[in-house]
Amino acid sequence: MINPKLLRSDLDFVADNLAKRGYVLDKNKLRLLEVSRKELQIKVEQLRQQRNKISKSIGKNKGKGLDISEIKKDVDNVSASLINEESKLKQVNENLDRLTQDLPNLLHESVPQGKDDSSNKLHTEWGSPKTFSFDPLDHVELAEGLGLIDLEGASKLSGSRFAVLRNDLAMLHRALAQFMIDIHTLEHGYEEMYLPYLVNSQTLFGTGQLPKFKQDLFFVDGEKDLALIPTAEVPLTNLLRDKIVKAENLPMKLVAHTPCFRSEAGSYGKDTRGMIRQHQFDKVELVQIVKPEDSYNALDELLSHAEIILRKLNLPYRVVTLCSGDTGFSASKTFDIEVWLPSQNCFREISSCSNCEDFQSRRIKARWKNLEMQKPELVHTLNGSGVAVGRALIAILENYQNEDGTITIPDILRPYMKNREIISTN
RNA sequence: GGAGAGAUGGCUGAGUGGCUGAAAGCGCUCCCCUGCUAAGGGAGUAUACAUUAAUAGUGUAUCGAGGGUUCGAAUCCCUCUCUCUCCGCCA
């Protein structure tokens, strides 16, 4: 959520910033609501004060054995108008909440201007796209050729956008997740977490999935208020909800391997082939909770942690800074890592690393105790994929394919693959 | 699934209708004392919002959440959530 104080003190600044995303803020509506909110709130608080005072005097007079019937008449009058004003205030506050909860985060000044992903700016590049002496196959052809994927089976079980992996491919998938977690815990100082895959709507509100993006989620049918997580960022970040963290415990660095579930509403016809865009995919997620002044250094660090995974796997990639129109709802600034896919002859997103500044922490009231100020302040939250397991699997199949349709296992994964060097039909 | 107990400030824990934003202890901050260490003495110490130049005052709200009773609720009533104990069941 955007700082409500800023929203009041400098509405034009907020509106201009949001306009960079293409978000049109109804300034007049907001101003009008704010004016009546203020008016009503002052009125309500004054009435409450009166009522409290009179009630206290009733207590005192009663104690002395005095008559209280006159005072009771006074309090009845006050209560009547209080109830009236309170209901008006409630209305206004509801309207105001609905408006402000739907506002995306303010963008960092370094975010490039642009409408959509075509304006994303190249940040860095690593490795060079591999050239093949033969026509490289795509991951579906490779996996089917080796008999390691069962898309028919998956659609029988669950419909489109699911996959069944078999044998060595299932093992490779598991190896990738294990490898990534090991690097982040052993070399980057993250604490490994095991998390619920179902969370309640308060949790989803906290990280910004609700109320605006309900249609992207899978809710459980029934009396329980639960939805499948679209990313481990949701449970990880919400662990800090209503907490005041000691300064010496920052930064907090958390990593979790979870499946992620997305309805992919609105992406009909997009990436329908293979495993690129699925309703269910695995991801190793990194979350950092930091002091505000550290958050942009932390973003660089988080990004480098995700990059190292691809370097160790020797997969060519590039990093782009998302432009204003492409940056997600909760983020102030986002870097995407895109891995090279030979079959598509282009880079595809495999990680997204964001600094949400205090946008999420305000929603979840995640604070730290600033020793100099002697006051709790909001922390900054960051998250990034380190990296998407399903897409890493695709990248390995395609980049490590041989002319005979076999797959060479990357050196670094061999210890996780019973020290084998190759995936073939034998 | 059955039976019972509980949820109070950073933590532990008192508090069954007004004098309680909340005893006490721990922790933390500051000061004093003590030639080190250990110990002792004193003061302070919730959050949000509104008003304000103000992190000065003042006011409002908050004792798991939401409703209700009452002039007045941490305290009484209802609903929900969660935690713990015992029994059953189960991976």
Domain ranges of chain A: 26-101, 117-423
Chain A 126-145 contacts with nucleic strand B (CB below 7 A): none
As a whole number of angstroms, the distance between CA A23 and CA A16 comes to 9
pLDDT at A367: 86
- pLDDT score for A245: 84
Judged by C1' against the alpha carbon of A79, the nearest nucleotide is B71
Range with the poorest average pLDDT among A330-334, A366-370, A382-386: A366-370
Architecture of domain A26-101: Orthogonal Bundle (1.10)
Write down which residues 57-116 in A have CB closer than 7 A to strand B: 58-59, 62, 72, 75-76, 79
- When pLDDT is cut at 50, 70 and 90, the band that residue A244 belongs to is confident
What pLDDT score does A423 carry?
98
- Spatial distance from the CA of A395 to the C1' of B21 (Å): 59
Q: What is the pLDDT of residue A77?
A: 86
Distance A119 CA to B83 C1' (A): 51
The mean per-residue pLDDT over the stretch A243-251 comes to 84
Confidence of residue A338 (pLDDT cuts 50, 70, 90): very high
Q: Which residue is nearest to nucleotide B19 (CA to C1')?
A: A60
A244-248 long-range contacts, CB within 8 A, separation 24+: A244/A367, A244/A368, A244/A369, A244/A376, A245/A289, A245/A366, A245/A367, A245/A368, A245/A369, A245/A379, A246/A368, A246/A369, A247/A291, A247/A368, A247/A369, A247/A370, A247/A371
Q: Which residues lie closer than 8 Å to A201 by C-beta, 6 or more apart?
A: A210, A225, A227
Domains A26-101 and A117-423 share a fold: no
A19-45: pLDDT as tens digits: 999 999 999 999 999 999 999 999 999
A341 DSSP β-pair partners: A346
* Residue A399, H or E segment: helix A389-399
Of A143-147, A247-251, A318-322, A388-392, the least confident:
A247-251
Q: Using the CA of A224, which nucleotide's C1' is the nearest one? A: B81
Residue A94 has pLDDT above 90, yes or no: no
For the segment A169-189, what is each residue's pLDDT rounded down to a tens digit? 999 999 999 999 999 999 999
Q: Which of A290-294, A391-395, A405-409 has the lowest mean pLDDT?
A: A290-294
Lowest mean pLDDT among A56-65, A204-213, A219-228, A404-413: A56-65
**In the predicted model, what is the mean pLDDT of residues A410-425?**
97
- The pLDDT score that the predictor gives to residue A269 is 83
Q: Which nucleotide is nearest to A59 (CA to C1')?
A: B18
**Chain mean pLDDT for chain A:** 93
Evaluate if the CB of A424 falls below 7 Å from strand B. no
List the nucleotides on chain B closer than 7 A to a protein CB: 10, 18, 46-51, 59-61, 71-72
Q: Which residues pair with A336 in a beta bridge?
A: A320, A352
Q: For residue A124, what pLDDT is reported? A: 97
Whole-angstrom distance, CA of residue A209 vs CA of residue A202? 10
Place of tokens 């490994």: A192
Distance A373 CA to B41 C1' (A): 28
Nucleotide nearest to A48 (CA to C1'): B60
Query: Can you give the pLDDT at residue A71?
Result: 82
Q: Is the CB of A8 under 7 A from strand B?
A: yes
A250 CA, B75 C1': Å apart: 40
Output the distance from A12 CA to B50 C1' rounded to whole Å.
23
More confident residue, A38 or A396: A396
Q: What is the DSSP letter of A149?
A: B
Fold of A117-423: BirA Bifunctional Protein; domain 2 (3.30.930)
Whether CB of A55 is under 7 Å from strand B: the answer is yes
Nearest nt to the CA of A62 via C1' is: B18
CA distances from A390 to A161, A200, A409, A422 (A): 12, 26, 16, 19
Predicted confidence band at A217 (pLDDT cuts at 50, 70, 90)? Answer: very high
Q: Dump pLDDT digits (tens) for A285-306.
A: 999 999 998 999 999 999 999 9
- Give the tens place of pLDDT for each residue, A48-72: 999 998 888 888 787 777 777 778 8
